[in-house]
Amino acid sequence: MMLWLLLLTTSYLLGSIPFGYLLVRFLRKEDVRAMGSGNIGATNVARAGGTTLGLLTLALDALKGYLAVLLATHFAPNTNHGPSTLAIAAAVTAVVGHVFPVWLRFKGGKGIATALGVFIALAPLVALSSVGVFALIVATTRLVSLGSILAAVSIPFLAILLVPRRSTALLIGLSFISLLSIAKHHANIVRLLHGTESRFGSSKNSDSKDKKVNA
């Protein structure tokens, strides 16, 4: 029990590191929460601080999720049915940490990048396939939010198709992370339904009023 408590706390704190906020703060001397949409995720960092900072944020947010699962797997190795329950729980808490970081009064990103990191660690083929879904949607619509939402929706189905030896815990963990990320896109979903969502590369940022974009 103590091992679980320690590792899950570590996973949460690792996931809660606000890399987007820190990069913009230290490299541009600005607060990303006061720029663009006000979100700390990779998409808003790219819009407010440039593509390089956005990609760096994406990589670091994914890395922290990957490392959280890797650390848990060190203490609870994978079984014949895939990742251990502890590794899956660590994945969930890392994403929760990103979405609700204690350092920023529990106002974080939408979990997409960190979810990608934990998916790579838990089910690499599923992660790669979901990136393909995201890339296809964004390439055809230029709607990053739609790509993120549909990629998240695809995760449980891809796991069923691509992971033959999957545990119920893995499906539950992947589904929870996906649902959390989709729920954090609720404002984007409303704008998509109304046809007012901003497209990638557009100078107009319709997310600025509600302070929510993709992360």
Cα separation of 46 and 58, whole Å? Answer: 9
According to the model, what pLDDT value does residue 89 have?
97
User: Does 208 reside within a domain?
Assistant: no
Closest CA to 214 of 97, 125, 114, 120: 114
11, 98 contact by CB (below 8 A):
no
According to the model, what pLDDT value does residue 203 have?
52
Cα separation of 195 and 188, whole Å? Answer: 10
User: Does 203 reside within a domain?
Assistant: no
User: Does 169 reside within a domain?
Assistant: yes
- Give the pair of three-digit tokens for residue 2: 């103590």
1: which DSSP letter?
-
User: Does 207 reside within a domain?
Assistant: no
User: Does 110 reside within a domain?
Assistant: yes
Residue 37, amino acid: S
According to the model, what pLDDT value does residue 189 have?
94
User: Does 204 reside within a domain?
Assistant: no
Cα separation of 213 and 215, whole Å? Answer: 7
Number of structural domains found in the chain: 1
User: Does 211 reside within a domain?
Assistant: no
Cα separation of 183 and 187, whole Å? Answer: 9
According to the model, what pLDDT value does residue 119 have?
97
B/e letters for 53-75, b = 16+ CB within 10 Å, e = fewer, are bbebbbebbbbbbbbbbebbbee
According to the model, what pLDDT value does residue 202 have?
65
134, 149 contact by CB (below 8 A):
no
Cα separation of 81 and 94, whole Å? Answer: 22
For the chain, 215 residues long, give each residue's pLDDT as a single digit of tens.
899 999 999 999 999 999 999 999 999 999 999 887 788 999 889 888 889 999 999 999 999 999 999 999 999 998 887 899 999 999 999 999 999 999 999 999 999 999 999 999 999 999 999 999 999 999 999 999 999 999 999 999 999 999 988 899 999 999 999 999 999 999 899 999 999 988 876 654 444 444 444 45
Cα separation of 64 and 42, whole Å? Answer: 14
- Give the pair of three-digit tokens for residue 178: 């996906």
Q: What is the CA radius of gyration of the chain?
A: 17
Closest CA to 84 of 94, 72, 96: 72
According to the model, what pLDDT value does residue 195 have?
92
User: Does 64 reside within a domain?
Assistant: yes
Cα separation of 197 and 210, whole Å? Answer: 12
According to the model, what pLDDT value does residue 205 have?
43
Write out the residue range of the structural domain in which residue 162 sits. 2-194
